Amino acid sequence: MLKKLLILLSITTITACGGGGGGKALADKIPAEETPAETTAQIEKRLNLPPAPDLAEDEKTVLGIDSDEKGIKGVNDKLERIIGFAFPNDPYARKVYNRQAELWALMVKEKNAIDNGEGSKEGLYNLYDEYWVILGCDSKGLVASHKDVENLELDYLNTPKRDAKMKEIMFLMLDYDYSSSNDSKEKTKKYCERLK
């Protein structure tokens, strides 16, 4: 019963506070990189960033636009650009934050597969567990932070459809066995180091 209460509290917190990116105080221990002398166009070219999406079109769907012509498959173009410009000279930070965004997309896809009788709660649980561990990379100060990614969740929960989808995912998590979940700093550190 306590676990279910914690899940419901998490739903409220994510909706009200914009997600779990509030680890600024700890993440401040690793300073974000200085603003590069490169132009926006130079950064776009060097990082192979996708073109800026039409935001009205991007916000029409739960996952947004993911052109896959360039860049990270599974991460919508808007988020990939935010992350790229926040960390143009830090491939590790880009990898961590792109994986966080990718996990959101994978959870949505798994939830849709469950709705169609093709997915599994176990698959969703595994993604959810990894999602909360990767959030710890920032909140536990294991990766650089930047004001543009402080609340990355707000950038992918920025429409009623996206927010509703996260609530659906969270309600499915009411059955999740949290005793098997371990988000200790050591586990998070090992996970984050694996991304280097």
Per-residue pLDDT tens digits for 20-56: 333 333 333 444 555 548 999 999 999 999 999 999 9
Rounded mean pLDDT, 90-95: 95
Whole-angstrom Cα distance, residue 170 to residue 57?
26
- Position 155 scores a pLDDT of 75
**Cβ burial 88-99 (10 Å sphere, 16+ → b, else e):** bebebbbbbbbb
Hey, where are the domains in the chain? Answer: 2-194
pLDDT digits (tens, 9 = 90+) for 133-167: 898 888 888 999 999 888 777 777 888 998 899 89
Q: What does the angle CA 168 – CA 72 – CA 68 come to, to the nearest 5 degrees?
A: 90
pTM: 0.77
